[in-house]
């Protein structure tokens, strides 16, 4: 039987849980870590004098952001020892989200934790600098500087060419068919000259240890993969938007899921992001 205090705490917290997970995920790039952070915040919330909290959402957002900042002190070391390219956990949705796309999340990785927090809170979630300052415990002027520095670094990661939803999903399906069937002509027609391929296996499944850069190299990799797919073809699971980019989920020959997200510029695939690390795909089962 749930005690009244716990029920009261849950009643105020649960309607905000998804928003808080969204904040934490955009800071950490990990679904599991974001869920853990938010659960930690709930445990702390149960011991707060909630009658003294005027705006629960703001209070809890501050708590979650501070927990994320603490987490990043150790997470940054983990990134440095990560095997191969690191990509954020794939979040697959039916609708496109434009606020934080996968390329932008990768750009955020290059920022300091405080720059990332200031940018997300102000530029993405729309908070004024007084609230940002209260959240990350810095002066408003310092928060403005943090956000400005972050903005300079991530400006190039904003989509320059917005692809219409249906067209993006159409290109994702075409990419799947061409890459799995071995139709190199069809595949080549989809790719930009400066296309890049980024594969995150985390050392747990085969994946390129470095990004593959340029049309010829990416085509060579897919020609090699096509030979494998002829023997062990992957199964299409669904199409959708993966961290804001059109893409698809597949079930590979080894029985594991995989996501492929495509950055589209001027109707061409400019970057391919493949997540194979099973630890990052558990939430999709």
SS3 state of residue 235 = strand
Strands (E), 164-215: 191-200, 212-213
Residue 236, classed as helix, strand or coil, is strand
> CATH code for 1-81?
1.10.1740
Task: Judge whether 243 and 261 are in contact, CB under 8 Å.
Answer: yes
Query: Residue holding tokens 């300091």?
Result: 112
Q: Where are the domains of the chain?
A: 1-81, 99-158, 165-284
Q: What class is the 165-284 domain?
A: alpha beta
Contact between 9 and 46 under an 8 Å Cβ cutoff? The reply is yes
Global confidence as pTM: 0.91
Structure tokens that stand for 252 in this block: 């590979």
In CATH terms, 99-158 corresponds, of 3.40.50.150, 3.90.120.10, 1.10.10.10, 2.60.40.3880, to: 1.10.10.10
CB 251 within 8 A of CB 238: no
Q: 1-81 with 165-284: one CATH topology?
A: no
Edge-first strand order for the sheet with 191-200 is: 92-93, 235-242, 245-251, 257-265, 268-275, 191-200, 212-213
- Distance, in Å, from the CA atom of 21 to the CA atom of 37, rounded to the nearest integer, reads 8
Residues 6+ apart with CB under 8 A from 133: 139, 140, 142, 143
pLDDT in tens, the chain (285 residues): 457 778 888 888 999 999 999 999 999 999 999 999 999 999 999 988 888 889 999 999 999 999 999 999 876 667 778 899 999 999 999 887 767 889 999 999 989 999 999 999 999 999 999 999 999 999 999 999 999 999 998 886 666 667 888 999 999 999 999 999 999 999 999 999 999 999 999 999 999 999 999 999 999 999 999 998 988 889 999 999 999 999 999 999 999 999 999 999 989 999 999 999 999 999 998
């Amino acid at each position: 039987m749930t005690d009244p205090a716990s029920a009261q705490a849950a009643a105020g917290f649960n309607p905000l849980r998804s928003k808080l997970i969204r904040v934490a995920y955009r800071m950490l790039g990990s679904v599991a870590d974001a869920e853990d952070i938010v659960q930690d915040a709930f445990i702390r919330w149960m011991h707060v004098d909630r009658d003294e909290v005027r705006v629960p959402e703001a209070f809890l957002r501050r708590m979650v952001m501070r927990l994320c900042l603490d987490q990043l002190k150790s997470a940054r070391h983990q990134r440095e020892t990560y095997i191969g390219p690191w990509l954020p956990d794939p979040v697959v949705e039916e609708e496109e989200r434009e606020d934080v796309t996968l390329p932008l999340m990768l750009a955020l990785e290059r920022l300091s934790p405080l720059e990332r927090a200031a940018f997300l809170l102000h530029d993405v979630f729309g908070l004024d600098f007084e609230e940002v300052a209260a959240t990350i415990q810095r002066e408003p002027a310092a928060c403005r500087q943090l956000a400005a520095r972050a903005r300079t670094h991530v400006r190039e990661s904003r989509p320059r060419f917005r692809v219409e939803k249906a067209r993006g999903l159409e290109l994702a399906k075409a990419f799947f068919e061409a890459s799995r069937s071995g139709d190199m002509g069809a595949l080549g027609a989809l790719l930009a000259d400066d296309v890049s391929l980024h594969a995150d296996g985390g050392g747990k499944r085969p994946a390129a240890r470095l990004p593959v850069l340029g049309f010829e190299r990416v085509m060579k990799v897919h020609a090699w993969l096509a030979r494998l797919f002829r023997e062990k073809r992957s199964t299409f699971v669904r199409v959708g938007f993966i961290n804001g980019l059109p893409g698809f989920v597949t079930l590979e020959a080894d029985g594991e899921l995989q996501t492929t997200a495509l950055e589209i510029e001027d109707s061409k695939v400019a970057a391919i992001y493949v997540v194979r690390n099973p630890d990052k795909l558990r939430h999709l089962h």
